[in-house]
Amino acid sequence: MTNPAVQLPAIDVVDHVVPLSANQPTWALRQQREKVVSATQSSYDAMFSHKVEGLSRTERLLVALHACRVSKAANLAAHYREELDAEGADAAVANAVERGEIASLADARLRAVLLFTGKLIERPIEGDRAAIDALAAHGLSTPALVALSQLIAFLSYQVRVVAGLKALAAAEVSA
| pLDDT one-digit tens code per residue, 136-146 | 999 999 999 99
The pLDDT value recorded for residue 6 is: 46
Measured distance CA(16)–CA(81) in Å, rounded? 14
Q: Is the pLDDT of residue 7 over 70?
A: no
Which pLDDT band, with edges at 50, 70 and 90, does 80 fall under? very high
Residue 23's pLDDT band (boundaries 50, 70, 90)?
Answer: confident
Q: What pLDDT does residue 10 have?
A: 61
Question: 30: pLDDT confidence band, cut at 50, 70 and 90?
Answer: confident
Residue 9: is its pLDDT beyond 50?
no
Query: Is residue 54's pLDDT more than 70?
Result: yes
Q: For 91-118, what is the mean pLDDT?
A: 96
- pTM listed for this prediction: 0.89
pLDDT in the model for residue 175? 62
Helical ranges in the chain per DSSP H: 13-17, 25-31, 34-49, 57-70, 74-87, 91-99, 108-122, 129-137, 142-174
Confidence check: pLDDT of 4 > 50: no
Contact call for residues 159 and 68 (beta carbons, < 8 A): yes
